[in-house]
Amino acid sequence: MRYLLTTLAVVAGFCGVACAADPPAKPPVAEPVVLITGSDRGIGFALVQEFASRGWRVMATCRDPARAAALQEFAAAHPAVTIDALDVADDAAIDRLAARYRGQPIDALVNNAGILGDVSGQRLGTLDPNGFEQTMRVNSYAPLRMSQAFLEQVAASKQKKIIAITSGAGSLWLAQQTHGFYYYSMSKSALNMAMRMLQNDVRSRGILVGIVTPGPVDTDMQREYRAAAAQANTPVTTPAMTSADSARALVNYVETLSADKAGRFYSYDGREIPW
Ligand SMILES: NC(=O)c1ccc[n+]([C@@H]2O[C@H](COP(=O)([O-])OP(=O)(O)OC[C@H]3O[C@@H](n4cnc5c(N)ncnc54)[C@H](OP(=O)(O)O)[C@@H]3O)[C@@H](O)[C@H]2O)c1
């Protein structure tokens, strides 16, 4: 468990529900454009703010825009930010959103949405298959499914970037002494593999796939993780950075992502992480 903590330390408006009948959202907007999943809180919301501050057009997506008060308030003050509903565990919803934005180049598709999963159901002795399926679905499958659905929009853009927000918890090398949180760690390893293979498939189209950890960031997920670790008598003492600081580093990473770094596993601070 302690090692996992170290691992995580190293690594650790328009608003509407798109539906089949929706017309195209609007004519293509100017570049650069970023689409972010899980934008209503945590690192996702910080990414919305950081990209917007740098002049990007931001397509912010979240499960329930009606409950995303802070994001709504931010979008109301920043016309370059739009909001769409998207549950990344819903393939049909992903396809509807992609259809709605057909013809809209997307310079960076940032797959940020993620879950820690039910912490009590992913320990030896309490393994719960439903928790496994949900965690794998959201953390591993959904980013790949999003990449498939939005591939043409990314390919039509200038920057052509697909980004996965992963975790050092997914590194087999760092996990040599890790305990606990099986599903979360497994889901991030699977995500890394999916993104590495995706890079092979899309390289010929000039698309760059970025695999990056945000570091230990003070969000709901990190707080839940720390509470569970404390309960297991392995309290986390490493400081967590603010989501704004992490987002600044992550957007630097996105903006400077080049072919030589694509398909490899990086930390928010520029260090490469062993698989
Ligand atoms: N915080 C860290 O220290 C840390 C470290 C390593 C990696 N990460 C990774 O960074 C990413 C963001 O984490 P965070 O710390 O910001 O977590 P967070 O505060 O718990 O936020 C998670 C975000 O993901 C969204 N989400 C979850 N399931 C979704 C679904 N099915 N469809 C759409 N959105 C969904 C949540 O939306 P709702 O509000 O609707 O639930 C929320 O916006 C995750 O991929 C996480 O694994 C975080």
Q: What is the pLDDT of residues 121-142, one digit of tens each?
A: 888 898 999 999 999 999 999 9
Q: Dump pLDDT digits (tens) for 47-85.
A: 999 999 999 999 999 999 999 999 999 999 999 999 999
Residues 6+ apart with CB under 8 A from 172: 189, 275
Strand, coil or helix: 272: strand
Rg (CA), the chain: 18
CA 139–ligand 1 middle distance (angstroms): 9
Residue 23, pLDDT score:
47
**Contact 143 CB / ligand 1 (< 6 Å):** no
Verify whether residue 184 is a known catalytic residue: yes
What is the distance between the alpha carbons of residues 60 and 241, in angstroms, rounded to a whole number? 23
What is the distance between the alpha carbons of residues 168 and 11, in angstroms, rounded to a whole number? 4
What is the distance between the alpha carbons of residues 218 and 241, in angstroms, rounded to a whole number? 6
Closest ligand 1 atom to residue 115 Cα is 27
What is the distance between the alpha carbons of residues 210 and 195, in angstroms, rounded to a whole number? 8
Sorted by where each begins, the domain ranges of the chain are 2-267
**Contact 37 CB / ligand 1 (< 6 Å):** yes
Give the CA angle between residues 230, 247, 31 to the nearest 5°: 150
**Contact 162 CB / ligand 1 (< 6 Å):** no
The band of 3, judged by pLDDT with boundaries at 50, 70 and 90, is: very low
DSSP string computed for 115-133 = ----GGGSSTT---HHHHH
The band of 8, judged by pLDDT with boundaries at 50, 70 and 90, is: very low
CATH number of 2-267: 3.40.50.720
Ligand 1 pocket test target in 74, 140, 219, 268 with most atoms within 8 Å of CB: 219
Among residues 182, 183, 184, 266, the one annotated as catalytic is 184
**Contact 217 CB / ligand 1 (< 6 Å):** yes
**Contact 41 CB / ligand 1 (< 6 Å):** yes
Residue 101 corresponds to which tokens in the numbers above? 């934005």
Residues 6+ apart with CB under 8 A from 5: 12, 229, 234, 236, 237, 238
